[in-house]
Structure 1
Amino acid sequence: MKNRQTPCVECRQHRRKCIRTISDKCSRCERLDKICVQPPENLETCTQNYFQEREIIQLEWAMEQLDAQLQTLSCRRNNSSLSKSRNNNYTQELIQNLVQHWSIEIKNGNFHIETGIKTLKDLLYLQSSVLSYLSPFSGYGSADSSSGSEDRLVIHFGHISTTQPQGIVFYELDVTIDQLVSTYFSCHNTFTATLHKTSFLEGYQQLKNPASDLLTLSICSYVCSAPCSHIYHSPWERRKMADHYFTKARSIILEQFDMSEKRLENMISINLLSKYLQMTLKYQECRKLITIGYQICLDLKPDYQTLFDENIPNESVQCLNEERLNRLLYSRHFILTMSVHRLTNNIFDIAQDLHHHLPEWEIMGDELPITKKFIRAQNWFLVLFNHPYIEQFMNQTQGLYGGEVCTLSFELIIRMEDVLLEWGASIPDEFNLCGNLKNYAVCKLVVSESEDCIALMVFIRCQIFLVTIYSRLLQPISQGYYKLTACEFFFQAIDALMILSTSPNRYIAKESRESVNACLEKIDQINETQGFFVLPENPTPIDFSDKSKFNFKYYNQYPQPWCAMMYDATRYIISLS
């Protein structure tokens, strides 16, 4: 009769499979650093003595392991000392001999080092750790070979490719993770404000194993999947690193998604991982994860109901406790979750849920000045998105991306113009680059001379929003075109211009294609430095006349599939003219 394995208390509580290991802990408790306690055969006999006995057994096992490790270290130290004492004299003599007899020469275009080694014993001494510093190529050489009829031994050094990934061990080194975390807060978090830098780094510095922390893995996946010139790895190596970090983070989320104390952490990590899923065009997987994040977001909403019931004053918060920090993070990731959830629903042509009021973001006193400015700009946009007319317009026209026909009242169209003008007139002075957005010459001059990145970002978002609104009214979007919807500023501009380029008005179409061509020239400049995009001579699967399923997998041969697809789509539109 087969014995039935009884799960431990932790696995039984969370309904997980309990896999026993060599140690006293199961695999899940060991990974999550939990106390693994076996339930007694009879619950009535579960007394304090039982738990004390279990603790004694664990301590005895730990002492045995510690004793075995001490004995191993002692043996290694004794053997090392004995070996050094025996070989010290011979080593000194060998070093002096090498200095006198080693020579370097070039023969037939090959680089040779004549060592003067005659016996195998001499060669083995060169491979010992005592002399490893003599050669800068230690560990990088190819197989040894001898030169034909000559009686002396000549070593030929090979090389290894530096473009290949250095393996999983390299990905999980503390120095690698430290670099990625530092890059995230210096380059990405400044303009997204998804995490509070001070509080995160305080917890990060206390981690014993950062490679097993969910938020850290999500940050690493985010950085490796986003184009950034501060990461020295090659594009393909960064892609493999992003794949590795995402796989580990995803497994942790699926392991703890139903743990109430991990809900906010899971929600934040899913939003960070959505960057990787969008850049690799894995929208099916993105929809699965963001659905989990969306449900967690709604589940947490009653705990932070004050964010939606009252107007939060937009001022710096100096005193930060755990409750205030969680409130801050939830308000920011609530908007991110709703945005990604709406995007995936549009892609898969799924009806949207009711619109949720978007809470304003709080500003922390220790955040960077440029981050505070970004948050103030974000809150100004939230005023527009929460306007009832904008909300009604977006809900009624969201089906256009699926090629559907929508109906708008004349009153709504007229009122939209007033709302946009009223909102544009209320722009804060710190973001107001140009008083008249319709004056092309003035706007172009101001934008070319401005160095305020936040003000430029606000200007671009305003232009994209206005062009998107009017492009929906001027020209319906063809069936299947929603697959090419962009999620970055530069490609969002191309997205709207490509809609206008299909307009029956030849003047609008001509100007739009000229603007898209100018965008393509800018992308080509990025292409020379990043190497992420489709080569012009390669075939493209894009064909708007074909209504069949779009081949997303084609772009998986590139390290940045999303960038490659958008570049390919832009090049295809230009070819139509």
Structure 2
Amino acid sequence: MLKSISCTECRKQHRKCVRTNQSVECVRCFRMHLDCVMPSADHLQDQDETVDGSKQLRQMKASVAVLQSTIQQLELQMHQLQQPPDRLDDMDTASIGSQATTASLTPSSSTSSATSLTQPGHPLELFTLQQYLQDMYTHVSAEPHPPLLMQVVTSSSPSPLLHHPPRPDDLLLEKGKEWKVTFVDGRWQIDTGIKSMAELLQLQTKLYRQLSPFQGVSRFLEIELSQVDRHRQSVFQMSARVARNHLLLPPSTPVAWDRSRVPTMAFHIPNRVVNSLIKLHFQFFHDYLPFVYKDAYLAHLRQLKDPMQCPLTTALCSYVCCGYYKDIPPIKDLPWFNNSQDRRTVAEYFYERCRAVLDDIYDDPNRRLETVMCINILKRFLMNTLRVSEMRKLDTIAYLICMDLKNHYKHAQLVDLEGQPFPSPTPASPGSPPSSPSASPPTVSIAEHAVFARHYAFSAWAHVCLDFFTPDGPDLEGYHKSWDLIPLLPLPGESNTLRQYLEMQSHYFALVLAPAVYNLFEHIQTALLGYRVAFDLEIFLRFQSCTREWWQRLPPEFRLCDDPDDPDTIRQAIRDCEDDVKLVLYVFYLDLVTSCYVCLPRAKSMSADNDPGLLQQIQSMCVNASLEAAEMLMLIMARLDANISYSQFVGDVFLFVAVDILAHHAQSDDPDLVRKAKDKLAACFQVLENADFMEGHRVDLAASPLTHSLLDSNAAMFHLYNQYPQPRYALLYDLCRFLSPLNGYMPRTQRLETMCP
């Protein structure tokens, strides 16, 4: 079997294109009686282009922008044509087409986009526009004006026949709004005279300047986050550069693993091996990341004749084998499990078996939820092995399937495990379209509904995180508009620990999806990726107020202490806390607020007003808060390091966050801040060196492949870290050391002993 360039049909369906020797048609097209057509040279993908669909996404965004501009111009023209005849007679010397060009609704509209409406080859052809305007005008006017319509479409130059009408905003400023208030039948009635959406939108115009609550500042300060020097970047930015220049590109050679290293036990007794790995999954991971409903899955597993043909089972086995473990006694059926390299090899084996089945169920409409579950389980293995390109492709598939299934599960009629009707936890929203009387909602069990809700939330969050590594970054506002997360609810028979973590995740999503949070977070993440950003300081103040209110509304069983901003109180609460749920939620909270605090110290004011030290006070607060947050992260990670189950998902991520924060402040121009940051950074490196998950992943300094020239090139870097059991740990460790500003700095011993428990 020889694999060649994929045909057009296989490319559309994202399927393997395999053809036998000297065969004109591929196997799939021959089996499904399709036309097997090879793509032309113009459609072949560039070798330097990412393979995750970013190019096609940019093209679609450009097309949508053109269509949006086109519709906006049509709306302006139709609004003009709806004016009374006496208004048309009093117009000035500019044509409607000119007015549509100059009075665009959005800053993105331009003269070129307006005039392109009349040029052949535009997505909306000339004849289509003429017919569209004529058809629309017959519905809004009793006296059509064919010459005027033809002039709107066929001419984009000024015409002496028509005049500019007064702008609605100018009329509003000149005449104001006069509303008639009456009292009828015991009720107040207001006659505004508003008869169209355009007139209603005029009320958004600000006719006065809002006063600032700060003395000496007539309006909120506009600040700018300048672009970071490429030689003083953070771990986050360097990770994004590595992903863009290396990990999102197709590898020059496929990832190879030594099949001969797979223990013979995995081949000769697969059922015993699978059962042992599944048992480990439910023992260590299930309560914290419930990918499946335990009772239903175990019943399904007992009915399988060949577990190796079940993609869910092989995905779970790969998930268990791609982590680190501490102080686990020898397992009878898994004598190789304590060797990290053997676990990596077995994880590759199960991943390959899972993908072989997963690639055949993408198109099955009855197995879409199973497809999403398998992809979400495989994400940990793909990330740990630095297969970011493959992970993003699979994640996009899972995210799109979830968006397609959302309405199906959200408005379904639920039944319990015995088939009896069950009250729905997601009542229909007021804006949802009513279903037809004849159509009955689909029936879904509460177990299937709950599993989908968990995977939908996981897919949505992972999709945003992966988009940070793309050149354009994520569209948080667009995601927020499309997200409508289903409540995360426990199922009968699930443990109290699982219930607590589901409720904890629900509280965290409520914070992330708050408008005051994602508005600032979008600017901050853009700045973290190395771009220049400008926004009003009011956005940050609203963010602070929102996060504090969210913390005070937390139930006592999830709140670590009453004041999350008091370092002494937090430090003592961490030492006394025995509940991992409180610690994990506080880590999530710290990561969110600190990512914003760490960027503001380099902000500059763009306001013409005299700044009375407000920005400097906020910057000083952010510096102190981020330094304390890094120390809190170290303390919490030391506590959670004993928890094998969740520390693999949390500890190995947020400990690098602490390194990133301190390394950022260690490059400051303030010598006192540099000294404090380097003291804590040395302590953080000590915690990182002693972490269990770093065993076997400490890259030798002489063998480190990181150089500035290599980071900017398109050379393959994956094979340099693939020799380690978990390449992601090796890469992050190498990045932290590469960006470390210590250079032989000797910290104060007393401070180290205080911070390192």
TM-score (norm 2): 0.50
The residue that corresponds to 2:683 in the other structure is 518
- Check the 8 A contact 2:662/2:678 in 1, yes or no: yes
Distance 1:271 1:405 in 2: 33
SS at 1:407's partner residue?
strand
Shift of 1:167: 3.8
1:210 aligns with 2:298: no
1:400 aligns with 2:497: no
Distance 2:462 2:595 in 1: 18
Distance 2:392 2:493 in 1: 35
Shift of 1:376: 1.3
**Greater RCO (Cα-Cα under 8 Å, separation 6 or more):** 2
The residue that corresponds to 1:228 in the other structure is 325
TM-aligned CA distance change 1:251 to 1:449, over 3 Å: same
1:378-389 superposed matches below 5 A: 378-389=505-516
Distance 2:651 2:528 in 1: 12
1:177 aligns with 2:274: yes
The residue that corresponds to 2:343 in the other structure is 238
Q: 2:468 aligns with which of 346, 365, 372?
A: 346
Q: 1:562 aligns with which of 699, 720, 728?
A: 728
Distance 2:15 2:377 in 1: 27
TM-aligned CA distance change 1:385 to 1:17, over 3 Å: closer
- Check the 8 A contact 2:666/2:675 in 1, yes or no: yes
The one-letter code sitting in structure 2 at the alignment partner of 1:268 is M
TM-aligned CA distance change 1:549 to 1:222, over 3 Å: farther
Shift of 1:375: 1.1
Distance 1:351 1:467 in 2: 20
Q: Deviations over 1:305-362 (max 9, x none)?
A: 3477659xxxxxxxxx952222111111112112222222211224435112333311
Q: 1:266 aligns with which of 362, 371, 387?
A: 371
- Check the 8 A contact 1:475/1:499 in 2, yes or no: no
Q: Deviations over 1:231-277 (max 9, x none)?
A: 73311101111111111111212111010011000001101101001
1:474 aligns with 2:601: yes
Q: 1:532 aligns with which of 696, 708, 720?
A: 696
- Check the 8 A contact 2:564/2:570 in 1, yes or no: yes
Q: 2:358 aligns with which of 253, 257, 267?
A: 253
SS at 2:313's partner residue?
helix
- Check the 8 A contact 1:235/1:530 in 2, yes or no: no
Structure 1: 5+ residue stretches without partners = 1-13, 21-26, 29-36, 40-162, 312-320, 477-484
TM-aligned CA distance change 1:418 to 1:369, over 3 Å: same
Q: 1:191 aligns with which of 288, 294, 298?
A: 288
CA RMSD of aligned residues (A): 3.3
TM-aligned CA distance change 1:472 to 1:200, over 3 Å: farther
1:326 aligns with 2:492: no
Shift of 1:535: 4.2
SS at 1:349's partner residue?
coil
TM-aligned CA distance change 1:265 to 1:509, over 3 Å: farther
1:54-93 superposed matches below 5 A: none
TM-aligned CA distance change 1:304 to 1:505, over 3 Å: farther
TM-aligned CA distance change 1:536 to 1:169, over 3 Å: closer
Shift of 1:517: 2.4
The one-letter code sitting in structure 2 at the alignment partner of 1:441 is D
TM-aligned CA distance change 1:208 to 1:506, over 3 Å: farther
The one-letter code sitting in structure 2 at the alignment partner of 1:493 is A
Distance 1:399 1:531 in 2: 34
TM-aligned CA distance change 1:576 to 1:207, over 3 Å: same
- Check the 8 A contact 1:520/1:567 in 2, yes or no: no
Distance 2:322 2:408 in 1: 33
- Check the 8 A contact 2:699/2:730 in 1, yes or no: no
Q: 2:656 aligns with which of 470, 485, 491?
A: 491
Question: What is the identity percentage for the equivalent residue pairs of Structure 1 and Structure 2?
Answer: 23
The residue that corresponds to 1:368 in the other structure is 495
Structure 2: 5+ residue stretches without partners = 1-13, 21-26, 34-259, 332-336, 412-424, 430-442, 604-649, 744-757
SS at 2:533's partner residue?
coil
Distance 2:670 2:308 in 1: 56
Q: 1:276 aligns with which of 370, 381, 386?
A: 381
Between structures 1 and 2, the one with greater helix share: 1
Which is worse superposed, 295-304 or 222-231? 222-231
TM-aligned CA distance change 1:535 to 1:413, over 3 Å: closer
